[in-house]
Amino acid sequence: MTSDNLSPQGLAGGTRPDDDAALEGEYVVSDDGELMPIDAPTTHLSQELINEFVVAAHFDFDKVKSMLAERYELLNENAAWLETPIQAAAHTGRADIAEFLLEQGAPLDICTAAMLGRADDVRQMLNDDPGLYEAVGAHNIPVMYFPAIAGNIPIATMLLSAGAAINVEDGRSSPLHGAASFGQTEMVKWLLANDANPYTVDFDGKTPLERAQQRQYTAIIELLQPFFPVEEGGTDTGEAQPHEHFKESDSMNADGQA
pLDDT, tens digit (0-9, with 9 covering 90-100), for 55-71: 999 999 999 999 999 99
Check residue 142 and report its DSSP letter. Answer: B
Segment 14-30 mean pLDDT: 44
- 168/54 Cα distance (integer angstroms): 26
Please indicate whether residue 188 or residue 12 has the higher confidence score (pLDDT): 188
Q: What is the pLDDT of residue 144?
A: 99
Q: Domain ranges for the chain, please list them.
A: 3-37, 46-107, 108-228
In this predicted structure, what is the pLDDT of residue 163? Answer: 98
Residue 106 has a pLDDT of: 98
Q: Considering only 30-34, 86-90, 92-96, 220-224, which range has the smallest mean pLDDT? A: 30-34
Please give the full DSSP string across 77-91, using - where no structure is assigned.
PPPTTS--HHHHHHH
Work out the pLDDT band at 230, boundaries 50, 70, 90: confident
For residues 224-256, one letter each, b for 16 or more C-beta atoms within 10 angstroms of the residue's C-beta and e for the rest, the string is beebbeeeeeeeeeeebeeeeebeeeebbeeee
Whether the pLDDT of residue 100 is over 60: the answer is yes
Which pLDDT does position 31 carry in this prediction? Answer: 54
> Whole-angstrom Cα distance, residue 139 to residue 83?
8
pLDDT of residue 44: 86
Which CATH superfamily is 108-228 part of? Ankyrin repeat-containing domain (1.25.40.20)
